[in-house]
Amino acid sequence: MRIGIANDHRAYKVKEELKKMLDEYDIVDYGCYSQQRIDYPKYAITLAEAVINKEVDLGIVMCGTGIGVSIACNKVKGIRCAKIDNKDEAKSAKEHNDANVLAFSAQSNTAKEIKEMIDIFINSTFLSDPCYKIRIDQVQKYEETNEY
């Protein structure tokens, strides 16, 4: 599996630790590459576009809270970015929403905790209950037509 990862300056240290823990995957780092202050949208959107263009199979974004990067990613058509705070949400992000990008808070989670949530997400399966597919389809239709 090829995983893209992006971050802002506040998540740089956590990202570097996390990359070492994800050694079983092919990791593509979309930046940022230091703790020097940057604006996150450029990095989050670049990662989201890589997911849409199938350069990576899954996107991981991090900032101080995870909120800003998740908002930025969700502006890219076709992205379903879930802001994850715990293991149950990681499982539901896959089972119910078939998310393709996960967003994390680097100030609330350690690299180890984030890795555990990523593992749960990867080892979960999108559920076959039609209600989940219908909801995803409704969001995609709105994205394309501004109608439900």
Residues composing the chain: 148
Identify the sign of the CA torsion 32, 36, 42, 44.
positive
Determine phi and psi for 119, rounding to 5 degrees: -60, -45
- 96 counts as catalytic: yes
Q: How far is CA 140 from CA 23, 60, 78, 98, in A?
A: 33, 21, 7, 13
Told to judge if 81 belongs to the known catalytic residues of this protein, a careful annotator would answer no
Catalytic position from the list 32, 63, 73, 81: 63
Taking Cα atoms as reference points, which of 72, 78, 66 lies closest to residue 45?
72
Which residues, 6 or more positions from 123, have their beta carbon under 8 angstroms from its beta carbon?
Answer: none
Cα torsion 142, 75, 124, 56: sign? positive
Q: Catalytic residue positions?
A: 63, 96
